[in-house]
Amino acid sequence: MVRDVSREVAKCHCFDVKCDMKRISIVGPAGSGKSTLAVKLGEILNLPVYHIDCYFLKPDWQPTDKQELAKQIAEITKNDAWIIEGNYKLTLENRFEKSDKIIFLNLPFEFCLDSIKQRHHQKEKRVGLPEYLDMTEERLPELIEKISAKGHYDELHRLVEKYKSKVIELKNRSEVNDFLCSLKPVNGSDEWS
């Protein structure tokens, strides 16, 4: 199984992984907070952040060709430093292979579903979503059906297990906050909400 970070982050400011994190993949269910975590980590570690949705989704929610998306993300992974968040299957293996760390946000499905519904009703633009896209009322049931489908995350789970030596699994917001805290100076005050 993947490394459970909860014991490590109990020593919050002693858990120093900054030195070996220059290429980071962030994965997890829709609504788990991948985009928000990527932005926070990018600020803390001074690394560029790439949201796969910005490469995959065109105006009117039209998808980019999957092979083209895989090529674009493969180009990004040739760089020395990056944070890439998202779950698109064709990008996972290449990213995981080249990642120093893989952060797996393994939050409960019900929590993620609530997050999706809450962000849908917020007026501000969702982090990591292209400027030209809005989550409309008719898109919400489609997204919920997609993420609820049996087997939707099977490939992700298979690859998380395959690359488990690189994986940091975070199971709730408290663990995410503790992880972020461990990357900051002791007097750092930002929490992830």
pLDDT score of 12: 36
Q: Which CATH number fits domain 3-182: 2.70.180.20, 3.40.50.300, 3.40.50.11810, 3.40.50.740?
A: 3.40.50.300
Parse the chain into domains and list their residue ranges.
3-182
Taking the model in full, what pTM does it have? 0.81
Query: Mind listing the pLDDT tens digit for each residue in 57-86?
Result: 777 777 788 899 889 999 999 999 999 999
pLDDT for 122: 65
Residue 61 per-residue DSSP state: G
User: Who has greater pLDDT, 183 or 107?
Assistant: 107
- For the stretch 121-172, pLDDT in tens is 665 656 666 655 555 566 677 777 777 777 778 899 999 999 999 999 999 9
pLDDT in tens, 16-47: 454 578 999 999 988 899 999 999 999 999 99
Whole-angstrom Cα Rg for the chain: 16
| Angle, helix 89-98 to helix 154-162, in steps of 10 degrees | 10
Distances (CA, A) of 178 to 6, 30, 128, 184, 188: 8, 21, 23, 10, 12
Beta bridge partners of 24: 83, 101
Whole-number Cα distances in Å, 40 to 7, 11, 32, 33, 75: 22, 20, 14, 11, 23
Using CA atoms, how far apart are residues 178 and 39, in angstroms rounded to an integer?
Answer: 16
**pLDDT reading at 190 higher than 60:** no
